[in-house]
Amino acid sequence: MTVDRQKSRLLIATILISTLLVGCKGNIFTAKTEAAEGEPPLIANVAVMKAERQAVTLFDELQGRVVAFRTAEIRPQVSGIITERLFKQGEMTANNKALFQINKEPFVIDINEKEASLAQAKVNLEQTQRKYSRLQALDKTSSVSKQAFEEAEFNYKKAAANVMQNAATLEQSKLNFKYATIRAPISGIIEQALVTEGTLVNKGDAQALAIIKQIDKVYIDVRQPASKLPTLRKLVAKGDATNQKGLGVNIMLSNDGADDIMGKIVFSGISVDVNTGDLIVRILADNQQQTLLPGMYVRTEVPRRSLNAFMLPQQAIQRASNGDAYVVVITSTNQAEKRTVTLAGIRDHQYVVSEGIKSGDAVIIEGHENVMPGAQINASQWQSDAQAA
């Protein structure tokens, strides 16, 4: 009996302790649940930009070689000894400026000889003219033979022709004297002299005396695949239709663009290399500051395509696991929506989006990592670094 009572008391105590424990656990869960339900909702802060469709021109960045606008090889037009060089090598020279002097003395002597010959011819003409005039008067009265009259007429005409011939020869000698001073045919930079004083030069020499290159404007030759020719034709034609002579090309001389030069493609400067089949595009650029020198290689941006598209900062574009590009747009109900987009290229460090969004869409630029299921969107206007500054 005593043992049974003890077992009964132990069973009752166990039941009471279990009941108390269950009651305590229920109160803790309830408290935690109430605390969770009391937490503030999750907010996603994002920066957005309103998408606007605009006209965009895409460019190919190509390397080009600078070529002088005009090149003139200085050659002698008469033979003689170079007595003086009249320019500084590497300086800017003007059109018609004296560059070399050939010994003048032989040309002076030649002019004197030709002047003497002309004077003699004129005296002979005067003599034959008087005789012809006398016989012409006698011929009217038949007082002179026909043969004598015709001979006098012939000698007069021959003497007149001789005067003309000697006069032309004198002019040639004077021209040779003028050519003894070799002058610049164009304005430009004159390079090093290829002959020195004391050199005998001859008309028709294969070697030039010096070379002048006009660089106040220059050509830049770039190469492209010949398949680009139809596109360039259309772009150049479109430029002409808008009263623009040629198609604008940016010549990049610095990373920040401060020293860039604007050139233009003239369609007459587009040709195909017969050896490689590449398309050679010739760009004309002003070079008043002589920044571009012949032989230099420069980077150029040649127009490739014109279209109406959206331009978005690079951080707006996200990539899916399969590599597809997409953006996140805030809908009218303040929900984040993923949109797959088509990228046409990059312009001014921004992506050019041709398809996938429409004008007026609020595209998330920054804060993608804050967008989570159930989060409340808090959108603000995105500002670039330049705008923020």
In Å, how far from its chain's centre is CA 278? 18
Task: Let me know whether 253 and 300 are in one domain.
Answer: yes
Structure tokens at 166: 């000697």
End position of a domain, from candidates 263, 284, 305:
305
- Say if 15 falls within a structural domain: no
pLDDT at position 42: 80
φ, ψ of residue 21 in degrees (nearest 5):
-65, -45
Name the residue type at position 171: E
In this prediction, residues 288-311 reach a mean pLDDT of 89
For helices 105-140 and 146-179, angle between their N-to-C axes, nearest 10 degrees? 160
Q: Which domain holds residue 280?
A: 59-68+218-305
Q: Which of 125-139, 251-265, 284-298 has the highest mean pLDDT?
A: 284-298
Task: Let me know whether 253 and 272 are in one domain.
Answer: yes
Q: What is the CATH number of the domain that holds 146?
A: 1.10.287.470
Cβ atoms of 338 and 267 closer than 8 Å? no
Task: Let me know whether 190 and 223 are in one domain.
Answer: no
Structure tokens at 90: 């590497």
End position of a domain, from candidates 266, 281, 305:
305
- Say if 37 falls within a structural domain: no
φ, ψ of residue 127 in degrees (nearest 5):
-65, -45
Is residue 341 left, alpha or beta, with left meaning phi > 0 and alpha meaning psi from -120 to 50? beta
Task: Let me know whether 236 and 283 are in one domain.
Answer: yes
Instruction: Give the separation between CA 203 and CA 122, rounded to whole angstroms.
Output: 32
* Model confidence band, residue 276 (pLDDT cutoffs 50, 70, 90): confident
* Model confidence band, residue 5 (pLDDT cutoffs 50, 70, 90): low
The tens digit of pLDDT for each residue in 55-110 reads 988 888 889 999 999 999 999 999 999 999 999 999 999 999 999 999 999 999 99
- Say if 31 falls within a structural domain: no
Instruction: Give the separation between CA 235 and CA 226, rounded to whole angstroms.
Output: 15
Name the residue type at position 192: Q
Query: Which range, of 26-40, 181-195, 323-337, averages the lowest pLDDT?
Result: 26-40
Count CB atoms within 10 A of the CB of residue 5.
Answer: 9
Selection from 274, 275, 279, 300 nearest residue 218 by Cα: 300
DSSP 8-state assignment for residue 91: S
Number of domains in the chain: 4
Q: What is the CATH number of the domain that holds 252?
A: 2.40.30.170
- Say if 384 falls within a structural domain: yes
Cβ atoms of 347 and 309 closer than 8 Å? no
Selection from 272, 186, 273 nearest residue 232 by Cα: 272
Confidence (pTM)? 0.66
Count CB atoms within 10 A of the CB of residue 198.
Answer: 8
End position of a domain, from candidates 305, 333, 363:
305
Q: Which residue has the tokens 């899916």?
A: 320
The tens digit of pLDDT for each residue in 8-67 reads 565 555 554 444 444 443 333 333 334 345 456 688 888 999 999 999 888 888 899 999
- Say if 19 falls within a structural domain: no
Q: What is the CATH number of the domain that holds 87?
A: 2.40.50.100
Task: Let me know whether 90 and 201 are in one domain.
Answer: yes
In this prediction, residues 148-156 reach a mean pLDDT of 87
Task: Let me know whether 97 and 190 are in one domain.
Answer: yes
